[in-house]
Structure 1
Amino acid sequence: MNPTFAVVDIETTGTNPKTDRIIQIGCILIENNQIVGRYATDVNPGQPIPKQIINLTKISPYQVKKAPYFEDIAWTIYHLLSETTFVAHNIHFDYQFLNEEFIRCGLPPLEIPGVDTVELAQIFLPTETSYRLNDLAERFGFEHENPHQALSDAEVTANLLLYIKETAQQLPLITMEKLLELSGATSYQTGQFIAYLLEMMRKNPQVLVDDLQIVHGIALRKKENKLFETPLFTNHYPKTKKEKQSFFYTKMEYRKSQQRLMNLVYQHFTEGTEKNLFIEASTGMGKTIGYLFPLSFIATPQNPVIVSTASILLQQQLMEEDLPKLNAILPCPLQGIIIKGKHHYIDLQRFKVTLDKPLRQKQYTLYQMRILVWLTQTQTGDLGELNILQAGHLLFDEIRHRGVEFLLVNQPFYEEDFLRYLYKKMNQSNLLVVNHAFLAQETQRTQPLLPASDYLIIDEAHHLPEIVEKVSNQFVDTEKFQRLIKSYQDEGQLFNQIENLFANHIEANHLFDLYQEELIEIYTLQEEIIAAKFKEQPVKVTHILQHEQWLASKDVHKLEKKLFLYYDEALFLQERLLALSLNLQEQWLERDKIIFGKLVSLFSEMTLQAQMMKKWFYAWESQYVHKIYLYASQNTARLELIDLAATLLPQTSWYPRYKKIVYLGGTLTVPRQPHYFAQRLGITAQKVRTFPSEFDYQLQAKFYVVDEEVALKDLDYESYVTYLTRSITTLLKKNEQSALVLFTSHEVLQDVYARMHLHFLENGREILAQGIGGSRERLLRRFKHSKGSILFGADSFWEGVDLPGGSLELIIVTRLPFEHPSRKMIEAKTRYFSEQRLNYFKQEALPKVSLKLRQGLGRLIRSREDQGVFILLDSRILDASYGKQLQQALPKSLPIERVSLSEARDATCKFLNSKENNEKTFKKQ
């Protein structure tokens, strides 16, 4: 590999090298870890530059008009690059495009080695959330004055290359040697670059740093096993303002409402007899510190505080942001740990097997390389740290943990196992942080993972009912099941492999043959029952069945009885095979154990499938919703069972195990229904203690309701999409602030996006859309970092989106977020409520809309410095009989104004651009 690196970036009129042309090229030369030269020039493409390229690169036709054509500089660039190693961020584009241009100009294609910094970054910086050049520049503080201009991008790529070189050379030699073994999967000569780094490291060998160790050929970070320290003095909770201020002093802002919250939480857990306390705490008051501070004086590892929050993201935020702040002022710091399900963690033994007998597949190998570097950094073994979107990839299926019961004491990685380490740390921690899904799954576990305790905090509690209901949903997809079993029967697949494992054991071999027959009978009977029961039903439509419909369909009682007999026999055979395998495993190679692990996973699936199918066939109480989606073959289907009573906490296994529970959230109260939230959870009516918002909505926000020109209910679908496209375009064309547009339908969102995005892109503004531009986290990250961006979102974007300050100043809501009444699920819920003599619309649908509106508004004003405008394109909030109740859910100080579309546009522009308004806001605060 040539030690002179030419770091190249090109800007082009498009992505097709056959028809598009280069408009700018930048090159940075590096020798001996120093930048030794720069070359940059505009290029006249001899063709128009598309508007979106002009807006992206800020390179105008006027700028390149007098620039040289590529033919004029081709030889110069060719000689500049010869005898170098070509480097680019996504080398596939730059290298190939340049070669096409050289060939067009009569020059031979480049044959110099090439290195891809995207792949290098993915391997050596394994925990980054994004590998886009702009994001990496911001993350590592590289100067990047002109993104999407060739020289600036090349400069950042050069700095990135040098940073990766330095980072890689800090790794243990054994890790780099293993990376080199796997590097054949990398692009171009990136593998040669790894060999070059290894050669440099061997010339200057480093001693293994103290916090690393080598176990069975893999470098691992040593794990801290910090023992919990009990203070020698008695912890006295500071009840008065003066006592609390002595803790906070200058390290943290002291807030009066936060002090009241602290006292309320402390009193609930140490005094009184009530089990449940509901607290509505507004955004910006510091509620996390508010409940953790008092608990730090009473929680111990023997009696820890369990904190459950809405998502993994919020778990990390609590541990990485809130807890360090609090611990800085505590006499005895809280010792916390995030707890997730076993499948979130890597099984080191299984990973080692994939290295010993790797699959020769590019992405599989690149992930292995990434994990090898990550193992020198992680102390948790939590695969989520890798931020990989394709978490369902084959490699992760092979290396996910199955539980400590599958570990063998004599395995090399037994002592270093991450799941065992997690459980050890739990015993030394007085703060255990989980999410609502993990908490809800405690009911489904045969053995609870969380300890009983006096203290449970449910943060972001307004999310709890939906998450509990979602976790409780069960389904069986007979088509997928049938396809899975048939694939396992193929030559060389799982069943063949298991037969080879049992080849020398007559009883196990016989039992496994019987087990395969049982599985075939099960999916055959599933087909027969579905074909008989649903012969007349339309396919590719979700049906919700009533018990009467089920009974009225063709009687297949004998087939049902036979099906469950086969399930019982299959489960019995599973138990026998597991018992026999315990004795055989010591004779198996590690790869054999991974193969058997796949069979064990199938056993677990079959156990759950049998339980769910029995419930689906026979549980017809009003709380259960039976859904079926028939596939085109009409003899396979997806069967789903939804438990509408799952949100009733006293029925769960975990609720009785906690002596006192505090529920906190920003939106727990509903106008005219003071006990709504408690009743929804099946808890005796409880008053919600509220902490008023500290924001001045009258000064900080505007709420405009657009008076529609036509009644929305009278518009057909096409007319409604046209109306929304015109209205949103009108509002956003003049207002260039970042905007979040909230939809109630994914279909409408995508159709409006299709009509708007090109027009806005050509005018320099990007529309990011849920379901189109990547994951939710990726969209939010791009939205935060792009000035004037527009984000289209539905469902999850109504809440839990933290976009403080100038990131978000305008929210447009296309429609009041009611669930569509004709949806089958809503009809089923309405019937369920009617049986209990309740009105679904008043008791459930309307409160949900109230909460969602408040949550949407909560995205806009999240601090006392924020200001913003909320525009609702649905006048029912003012005109409908239930409108008053929705208005009462909003802050009292927030004025609601009915305006025309043009008035909304102009008033928004005036409010957000008014310097006088900004000065007033900050003067008052």
Structure 2
Amino acid sequence: MKPIYAVVDLETTGTDAAVDRIIQFGCVLVQDGKVVNRFATDINPDRRISRQIQNLTHITNQQVKQAPYFEDVADIIFNLLSNTIFVAHNIYFDYQFLSNELVRCGLPALTIPGIDTVELAQVFLPTESSFRLGDLADSIGFVHENPHQADSDAEVTAALLMYIEAIMKELPRTTLKQIALLSGQMGMQTSAFIYDVLKETSTTLPEELEEVDGIVLRKKTVKTFVYNHYPNDYPQIKAEKTAQFQAHLTYRKQQARLMNAVYNHFTDTEKNLILEAETGMGKTIGYLFPTAYLATPDNPLIVSTSSILLQNQIMAKDVPLVNQVLDQSIQATVVKSHRHYIDLQRFKATLDQPVDQKQYAQYQMGMLVWLTKTVTGDFDELNLVRLDHPIFTDIRHRGLEFLSDTQAFYAHDFLRHVYAQAAQSNVLIVNHAFLLQETKRQQPLLPASDFLLIDEAQQLPSQAEGLSQYSFDSAYFKRQYMQFNEEGLFDQVADVLEQEQQILPLFKLYRDALAILIDTQEAFFGTIDRVSDDRQVLQRHELFNDSVQQGQIYRKLMLYYQEISEMQQQLQQFLMALHVRITAQQQLLVARLLDYFDQFHIQAYTVTTWLESWHPRYVHWLKLHPSHQSGTIELADLEGKQVSESIWYQRYRHIIYLGGTLRIPGNKAYYAHQIGIPDTPVKTIPAFYDYEKQARLYVVKQGISIQQADADSYADYLAEALTPILFELQQPTLVLFTAHETLKAVYDRLHKKAMNQGRELIAQGTGGSREKILKKFLLAENGILFGTNSFWEGVDLPGQALKVAVVTRLPFENPQNPLVKARHTYLAAQGIDTFKEDALPKAILRLRQALGRLIRSEKDTGVMIVLDRRLLSTKYGKRMVKGLPKNLPLIEATPSEMTEDICHFFEKEKQSLL
């Protein structure tokens, strides 16, 4: 007889089983993949339900007033669950809470087996971005009418269980068997459930799958680029474009101008063009369409964009759309660093020698499922917040040079597949970080070409500046060396090299040299006269005291870095050759050592450059640790964002820098100066939104003196000003801060009020990755999102998803930030007015970017609110206003007056849509 699964959900007055009570019980009985019975009831908890729980569950005190007490239904629930398997989404809460309540009523504690659908989902739905029940229901397409109500949640959990069971039955038997073998550490009887389903799986392998050395993979093919030998010429004029677009694309004047600008530059003699085009005009189609007439696999278009999210969007949405109107289709490939891809040989090694750690095994199980689906092997498909778990160090790819054609997975390697597909593509899509790293690579990963387009180009300087900063903590270096000794990594590598007598002595010498280097670094830090423990900018004369002792230690330090780097290079060459001849488990050891080599390579550059390079463009920071025998050093290159110095820059004949905010009033060449190509022409595609109808700008009439107010007073002011805006408007709202500390202080003052009113207040730093936070905001009804730096730009929240953007403070960089301070000192030494030429232009651009979060199509409406009076009370504020669209209505008002006026504005919009 098939088992009966009792899928249970509870709603409670709180999370403490000792003092809180159940207010709703829901149960769905499932047998043989079908719902066979249901039971749900409200329960009187004999105490008041808090406003927060009422808003979360929509269960009121009035609703449960006439409901039975738990004592009245305890026997019914106990008998209902007898001889069933208990199932819940996060079983640890529901099972224990219900068991405690049964015991309180004089019944036995629960002893029936249990299954956790959270853990099942994490294994069998590995590409989901969230495992909250509501998010899973939304992603899969389940109807979830009443989230956080026990009957509805139980129904959805039952549907989820049956959905996952169906997926498990479709998996190859080999895959499910491997998962079962790894499942021993899963919660309660979840592992037994996997074994039960295993008995029902087929041994037949579907046509699209193949088994390689015990791992089932989805088959991959390289799509050959097919040339159209009779292509039409590029359509320059409207009539030609309209004929080409037919019903697939709508002719848009500004987009057409962008297309022509891109085509004309790529067929011109000029190298660089800065092209500003407003967000929402269809920029991606605007450059893909014209370059399809020029780019080939031998001479591809390289597209660099700001994020992995945008890379995926181009592939999934824009390329298929533009291909509908092209004679010669675009064939595009996303190219990423090798570390984004799984190394199948090393993954197999982790399966052969399992690690006794639950999270490690869970990732292994999820990846076994994923490998039956993926053709890219790209970890980003797994939607993980972080990739710093030890398993990813063990299994991430190290590059083609670490492969051997004698390995079982050589022909199936994902990185080889990506490069093979890239060779057949006329568009290669990378992100800015990948492009910028080309300068640091010994062998370039991108081909030389006539065409490079940098999309979201406004983000290139800041990313380049970030990549030109280095840091080194000598205490961490020592701890890591000692940890490797304690774990036996060095000893185990020595064992691998035992038969390699020509290299073993060098490895032992390398290991000893590291120990001497640590001692030498401690001695050097001990010679530094400056004794402050604070992080500070350092000049050369403050570091070197011209003593004989320090000079000797300095020379010894530089010598050891040079010698260790040379030894490391010899060892690396040998280990790479040895790598293909040793066991898979030995390969994992060697890979860990080679990762350490990579770290040391960066460390050697950081330390030697920090000690030797004292040109004004380099900023040196030092923080001595309390012992003064160790410290943290940091190095920043203030000219690091100069693209003309980059190796990749020399390899492209034509480059377009495309973005929505690349110029400021009275200084069209600002961006060109920023990236070191001052004579580059700037072309602007005029704005096409009707800001007078679509938007409003409100500036607070009576504000606080922000620069003089202390932190608590400022947070109080913001909380008070935001209260009517957030809680009376009932509109999806993005509140932008310039400092995390202020964001947290205002969040602490308002999040309880938001919960009491049933509004979801999501704050950066409290809810996972940027992508997860944005998804939560999109799913919330009239959600509120608090964000800082990364939310000022590059956030695509179309249509009704965002209606109000609040700027809490004019977006100037903090002048006391050490890097900003150092940059301003450097610029001032060149006779540059740092406020007018650096601080103010950046603030103007960020304010424009904030407005860009709101209006991203001709149908969008929205309002921007600025709670900083300086926008109107200062000369520079008025210059910032000039940087905004001319026809944007500006209104001064108190927060309460704003709220009333905004309500009328949105009401008029609603009426116009009727």
Q: Distance in 2 between matches of 1:711 and 1:883?
A: 15
2:5 matched residue in structure 1:
5
Superposed, which structure 2 residues align to 1:11-30 within 5 Å?
Answer: 11-30=11-30
Residue among 317, 324, 332 paired with 2:320:
324
Aligned length: 913
CA deviation vs aligned residue, 1:18-48 (integer Å, no higher than 9, x gap):
1111100111111121111110000111122
Residue among 542, 550, 575 paired with 1:549:
542
1:720 matched residue in structure 2:
714
Give the deviation of 1:919 after TM superposition. 3.6
1:660 to 1:562, Cα distance in 2 relative to 1, 3 A:
same
Give the deviation of 1:66 after TM superposition. 1.0
1:50 aligns with 2:45: no
1:917 matched residue in structure 2:
909
Measured on the aligned residues, the alpha-carbon RMSD in Å equals 1.6
SS of 2:130's partner is coil
2:514 matched residue in structure 1:
519
Give the deviation of 1:2 after TM superposition. 5.8
Q: Distance in 2 between matches of 1:420 and 1:525?
A: 43
Query: Does the CA contact (< 8 Å) of 2:24 and 2:41 recur in 1?
Result: yes
1:597 aligns with 2:591: yes
1:808 to 1:576, Cα distance in 2 relative to 1, 3 A:
closer
Q: Given residue 310 of structure 2, which amino acid in structure 1 is its aligned partner?
A: L
1:159 aligns with 2:151: no
Query: Does the CA contact (< 8 Å) of 1:708 and 1:873 recur in 2?
Result: no
Q: Given residue 662 of structure 2, which amino acid in structure 1 is its aligned partner?
A: L
2:848 matched residue in structure 1:
854
Q: Distance in 2 between matches of 1:863 and 1:399?
A: 43
CA deviation vs aligned residue, 1:497-542 (integer Å, no higher than 9, x gap):
11222334444333222212111111222222223215521x2x32
Q: Distance in 2 between matches of 1:599 and 1:691?
A: 52
Give the deviation of 1:833 after TM superposition. 0.6
1:266 matched residue in structure 2:
263
Residue among 242, 253, 256 paired with 1:256:
253
Q: Given residue 686 of structure 1, which amino acid in structure 2 is its aligned partner?
A: T
Give the deviation of 1:787 after TM superposition. 1.1
2:349 matched residue in structure 1:
353
Q: Distance in 1 between matches of 2:626 and 2:284?
A: 50
CA deviation vs aligned residue, 1:586-620 (integer Å, no higher than 9, x gap):
65321011101111222222222212211100111
Superposed, which structure 2 residues align to 1:483-498 within 5 Å?
Answer: 483-490=479-486, 492-498=487-493
Query: Does the CA contact (< 8 Å) of 1:2 and 1:83 recur in 2?
Result: no
Query: Does the CA contact (< 8 Å) of 1:674 and 1:687 recur in 2?
Result: no
Q: Distance in 2 between matches of 1:583 and 1:331?
A: 47
Q: Distance in 2 between matches of 1:553 and 1:877?
A: 51
1:224 aligns with 2:241: no
Give the deviation of 1:363 after TM superposition. 0.3
Q: Given residue 255 of structure 2, which amino acid in structure 1 is its aligned partner?
A: Q
Q: Distance in 2 between matches of 1:620 and 1:111?
A: 70
Q: Given residue 566 of structure 1, which amino acid in structure 2 is its aligned partner?
A: Y
Query: Does the CA contact (< 8 Å) of 2:704 and 2:714 recur in 1?
Result: no
Q: Given residue 533 of structure 1, which amino acid in structure 2 is its aligned partner?
A: I
1:611 matched residue in structure 2:
605
Superposed, which structure 2 residues align to 1:93-492 within 5 Å?
Answer: 93-201=93-201, 205=202, 207-270=204-267, 272-490=268-486, 492=487
1:89 matched residue in structure 2:
89
Q: Given residue 894 of structure 1, which amino acid in structure 2 is its aligned partner?
A: L
Superposed, which structure 2 residues align to 1:649-798 within 5 Å?
Answer: 649-798=643-792
2:498 matched residue in structure 1:
503
Q: Given residue 213 of structure 1, which amino acid in structure 2 is its aligned partner?
A: E
Give the deviation of 1:62 after TM superposition. 0.8
SS of 1:30's partner is strand
Q: Given residue 63 of structure 2, which amino acid in structure 1 is its aligned partner?
A: Q
1:711 to 1:578, Cα distance in 2 relative to 1, 3 A:
closer
- Stretches of structure 2 lacking an aligned partner (at least 5 in a row): none
Residue among 857, 862, 870 paired with 1:868:
862
Q: Given residue 75 of structure 1, which amino acid in structure 2 is its aligned partner?
A: D
CA deviation vs aligned residue, 1:100-146 (integer Å, no higher than 9, x gap):
11111111112211111111111111111111111111112111111
Q: Given residue 397 of structure 2, which amino acid in structure 1 is its aligned partner?
A: H
Query: Does the CA contact (< 8 Å) of 2:2 and 2:32 recur in 1?
Result: no
CA deviation vs aligned residue, 1:63-104 (integer Å, no higher than 9, x gap):
111111111111111111111111111111111111111111
1:877 to 1:687, Cα distance in 2 relative to 1, 3 A:
farther
Query: Does the CA contact (< 8 Å) of 1:442 and 1:653 recur in 2?
Result: yes
Query: Does the CA contact (< 8 Å) of 2:643 and 2:675 recur in 1?
Result: yes
CA deviation vs aligned residue, 1:750-773 (integer Å, no higher than 9, x gap):
011111111221221221111112
1:908 to 1:652, Cα distance in 2 relative to 1, 3 A:
same
Query: Does the CA contact (< 8 Å) of 1:27 and 1:39 recur in 2?
Result: yes
1:890 matched residue in structure 2:
884
SS of 2:40's partner is strand
Q: Given residue 209 of structure 1, which amino acid in structure 2 is its aligned partner?
A: P
State which drifts further: 10-19 or 821-830.
Answer: 821-830
> Normalising by structure 1, what TM-score?
0.97
Residue among 564, 568, 585 paired with 2:562:
568
SS of 2:806's partner is strand
1:583 to 1:55, Cα distance in 2 relative to 1, 3 A:
closer
- Stretches of structure 1 lacking an aligned partner (at least 5 in a row): none
Q: Given residue 549 of structure 1, which amino acid in structure 2 is its aligned partner?
A: E
Query: Does the CA contact (< 8 Å) of 1:529 and 1:560 recur in 2?
Result: yes
Q: Given residue 568 of structure 1, which amino acid in structure 2 is its aligned partner?
A: Q
SS of 2:875's partner is coil
SS of 2:898's partner is helix
Residue among 831, 841, 855 paired with 2:835:
841
Give the deviation of 1:554 after TM superposition. 6.7
Query: Does the CA contact (< 8 Å) of 2:703 and 2:868 recur in 1?
Result: no
Q: Distance in 2 between matches of 1:531 and 1:767?
A: 49
1:60 aligns with 2:55: no
